[in-house]
Structure 1
Amino acid sequence: MAGLNKPANGQLRGQTKTGGQQSELLSNVQHPSAHKRTSIPQSSGGIKFGDDWKKCLELPPKDTRVKTSDVTSTKGNEFEDYCLKRELLMGIFEMGWEKPSPVQEESIPIALSGRDILARAKNGTGKSGAYLIPLLERIDLKKDHIQVHVVIATPGRILDLIKKGVAKVDKTQMLVMDEADKLLSQDFVVLIENIISFMPKDRQILLYSATFPISVQKFMSKHMQKPYEINLMEELTLKGITQYYAYVTERQKVHCLNTLFSRLQINQSIIFCNSTQRVELLAKKITQLGYSCFYIHAKMMQEYRNRVFHDFRNGLCRNLVCTDLFTRGIDIQAVNVVINFDFPKNAETYLHRIGRSGRFGHLGLAINLITSDDRYNLKNIEDQLVTDIKPIPSSIDKSLYVAEFHSVDAEDGGEEKA
């Protein structure tokens, strides 16, 4: 990295290149966080019984993009069917959530009943809402103690806060683990079990994940009481994501990436590398090619990572280069292209990476740059995920990944060759 005058915050900026489809303005992309929220009177305030409270809502622009059956194959339930608090319903609708997705339909009423849940659903299909809605509904604002342990920290840090008496969880009735496969892996499961030992015996445990290894089954039998099992995983990969590979040498990768930038219609893209050093080097190359680019990795200070994420989410830059730090729990709906500049080593990582596009049933494109060293991993991942990663065509049909094209469902999408 000698001679690179790079900012510490991961925000490398080149002149916005006008070649190909990258010249389209990001202002055309709708970002949920850009919507201005106003103060809405609560049910105890200006809205009286019998009023049409929905008229008071400040709703974001309606999302008219095509959605796949991962989120549309519902029973037809409405959020109002669950007898939720008025102010919670108002918040749900103001987020732009119109109807519950399949995992939310299955999960919300069971979670509200107090029963343990083991839910397996794909990335980007509404898992967060499936537990956040019942979590918020069950909180009693009159009680001044931790009721659901909503803490942003590593398991080790949470355990440290508990042992120091800062976080008192002896009255906490609900424990939620999103990305449960990671939290219950060998690295963390002992810490999680230690945390649980400080909680009441009759607590409720909700587990959500796209994959459930054997470690989760062991935990379930030891700590959960007849959990209600939800499995919405007929297949592992998202239906709306079209997957291609380009066979290249290591030296051809940057040229191939430049070609993709000039030919694809990218709203926003996330580009994955396998090391922090390669992230920074690639971000520099992309900037030198004339494209705006941010980067993010685990060795950056947290405040800089937060700023990069916030600015990228708000559409200040079209491309983000990152490591696998960015594969879980990240929901940026404007991302329609994921590029594996470095191909991952295992199926789990691949699944979480490509799941950054095609969020909540929308369409997305995953392109993998494959060298001769990657060909065995490619075959193994295809076999494990029971998916087909096709050779990249000379021209990719925009209806497979661009929002303004409307198709019935993306699962059988076609391709257009020059």
Structure 2
Amino acid sequence: MPFQSFHFHPQVAAGVTAAGYSTPTPIQAQAIPPVMAGRDVMGLAQTGTGKTAAFALPILHRLMEGKRGHVRALIIAPTRELAEQIHGAISSLGEQTRLRSLTVYGGVNINPQIQKLKRGAEIVVACPGRLLDHIRQGTIDLSRLEVLVLDEADQMFDMGFFPDIRRILGHLPAKRQTLLFSATMPAEIRKLSSEVLRDPLTVQVDRVSPATTVSHALYPVAPHLKTDLLLQLLQHTDTGSVLVFTRTKHRAKRLGLQLEKAGYKAASLQGNLSQNRRQAALDGFRDGSFQILVATDIAARGIDVSQVSHVVNYDIPDTPETYIHRIGRTGRAARSGDAFTLVTGEDTAMVRAIEKVLGKAVERRKVAGFDYDQPAPPKQPQAPRAPRPQRQNAKAAPASKPGNGNSRPRRPTGQKRTGSVQAATR
């Protein structure tokens, strides 16, 4: 089935040709026709299957008819990187349509976004937190919305965005087309789909099937030797671009610095970075300025780099599905790739679960010449605490009043902290 069989608007078809698309992927072949017909669709597909074009092309085709200058399509994504990736795909595929797309997410100044919204755009790609800010401030008009896309719904649930999603839904027209895409189908996603989709068509493509172009290997090691083993592994392996996954953002930052200190062109991608630094890390990894990118699963959503030669799981993922998503970032575009996982004695159960999904046992390897018997470094002794002053039997002094420098003012009962949690989730 060629792309011509979809009969896109000529200006959309020109974007498809310019992008070099010839044959649609399975998710595109199954999802595009019902989306173009106006059906609500639930798509189950993993990273790298071409699902962005599966909803972007029908949206561009639809918006070629009708008035312009107001928001007609809203795409909600969990991370800034994924929002930018979707926006980039829409801008590229719709280059000749003159339809305008913009991104809305936190971590950057809101005022430029407000100015762009004032100038008018037909497509908005947004992260939930900052979108709610615009809704509260009245700087975005969604009253004439025609299409809503919830992308990476399972990841939005994992990041705690579902309450925000439900608040956003309350501001959207009831009469609309809704598309929901998710890599997995936990009970929470099934419940959300029943709330937001009307008579949906479900399209499922290789939900947990690993790429056949990727080879897998496990490297058993003690927890305290992981970094040393990774350095030895990199020295003994012919690598191109390497994507390393850690469980926490603090470990991603520390490991990135350790690799840089060891002489590698490395960067980390994690939630504590400003948007400019996150984008610089991504751009540098794409253009080869950084050979190694260390990232968490959340930060890595939206990484679309076809030349990744190796994925290294510094920390084993929490689920087999996450393992499939991680390794799906190598072995793309008919290239072969390698997935290395450092495992400790605590990872046995997850290794079995991953092997069950792969349908085979994964080879255990050792790095020649590495000393696996190095003892763990001794724990640093804690400084002894100063002895507490003895209580006196004298009459207690009156409590200090707030604001006199001797105590912190107490927060009124029921008042919540603000700022840090909201900022972290946007």
Pairing partner for 2:51 from 108, 127, 139: 127
* Separation in structure 2 between the aligned mates of residue 326 and residue 280 of structure 1, nearest angstrom: 12
Match in the other structure for 1:172: 145
Match in the other structure for 2:15: 91
* Distance verdict in 2 for CA 1:186–1:368, change over 3 Å: closer
| One-letter identity of the residue aligned with 1:100 | P
Pairs within 5 Å for 1:98-113: 98-113=22-37
- Give SS of 2:42's match: strand
Alignment length (residue pairs): 319
The gaps in structure 1 that reach 5 residues or longer are 1-76, 396-418
* Distance verdict in 2 for CA 1:175–1:168, change over 3 Å: same
Q: After superposition, what is the alpha-carbon deviation per residue over 1:228-264, rounded to whole angstroms, capped at 9, x for unaligned?
A: 1111126432332222110112343233223322333
Is the aligned partner of 1:232 residue 2:205? yes
Match in the other structure for 1:206: 179
- Give SS of 1:257's match: helix
Q: Which of structures 1 and 2 has the larger relative contact order (alpha carbons within 8 angstroms, sep 6+)?
A: 1
Q: After superposition, what is the alpha-carbon deviation per residue over 1:265-294, rounded to whole angstroms, capped at 9, x for unaligned?
A: 322111112223322332233233332212
* Separation in structure 2 between the aligned mates of residue 105 and residue 286 of structure 1, nearest angstrom: 42
Pairing partner for 2:72 from 132, 147, 150: 147
CA contact (8 A) 1:338 1:365 kept: yes
Calculate the TM-score normalised by the size of structure 1. Answer: 0.70
- Give SS of 2:74's match: coil
* Separation in structure 2 between the aligned mates of residue 261 and residue 164 of structure 1, nearest angstrom: 50
* Separation in structure 1 between the aligned mates of residue 194 and residue 254 of structure 2, nearest angstrom: 46
Pairs within 5 Å for 1:353-364: 353-359=326-332, 362-364=335-337
Highest CA radius of gyration, 1 or 2? 2
Pairs within 5 Å for 1:5-404: 77-140=1-64, 142-150=67-75, 151-153=103-105, 154-184=127-157, 187-233=160-206, 235-359=208-332, 362-383=335-356, 388-392=361-365
| One-letter identity of the residue aligned with 2:225 | Q
Q: Which moved more, 1:355-364 or 1:365-374?
A: 355-364
CA contact (8 A) 1:336 1:358 kept: yes
* Distance verdict in 2 for CA 1:325–1:377, change over 3 Å: same
CA contact (8 A) 1:122 1:238 kept: no
CA contact (8 A) 1:185 1:215 kept: no
Q: After superposition, what is the alpha-carbon deviation per residue over 1:270-322, rounded to whole angstroms, capped at 9, x for unaligned?
A: 11122233223322332333322122211111111111111211121211112
* Distance verdict in 2 for CA 1:260–1:206, change over 3 Å: same
CA contact (8 A) 2:32 2:54 kept: yes
Q: Which moved more, 1:120-129 or 1:82-91?
A: 82-91
Task: Give the superposition deviation at 1:356.
Answer: 2.1
Instruction: Report the RMSD for the aligned CA atoms in angstroms.
Output: 2.4
| One-letter identity of the residue aligned with 1:86 | P
The gaps in structure 2 that reach 5 residues or longer are 76-102, 106-126, 369-426
* Distance verdict in 2 for CA 1:236–1:219, change over 3 Å: same
* Separation in structure 2 between the aligned mates of residue 111 and residue 172 of structure 1, nearest angstrom: 16
Structure 1 stretches of 4+ with a deviation exceeding 6 A read none
Task: Give the superposition deviation at 1:99.
Answer: 1.9
| One-letter identity of the residue aligned with 1:269 | V
* Distance verdict in 2 for CA 1:246–1:196, change over 3 Å: same
| One-letter identity of the residue aligned with 1:278 | R
Between the aligned residues of both structures, percent identity stands at 30
Q: After superposition, what is the alpha-carbon deviation per residue over 1:184-237, rounded to whole angstroms, capped at 9, x for unaligned?
A: 458222322222222222211111121111112112222211111111126432
* Separation in structure 2 between the aligned mates of residue 117 and residue 343 of structure 1, nearest angstrom: 33
CA contact (8 A) 1:279 1:297 kept: yes
Q: Which moved more, 1:288-297 or 1:239-248?
A: 288-297
- Give SS of 1:149's match: strand
Task: Give the superposition deviation at 1:135.
Answer: 1.5
* Separation in structure 1 between the aligned mates of residue 288 and residue 17 of structure 2, nearest angstrom: 23
| One-letter identity of the residue aligned with 2:311 | V
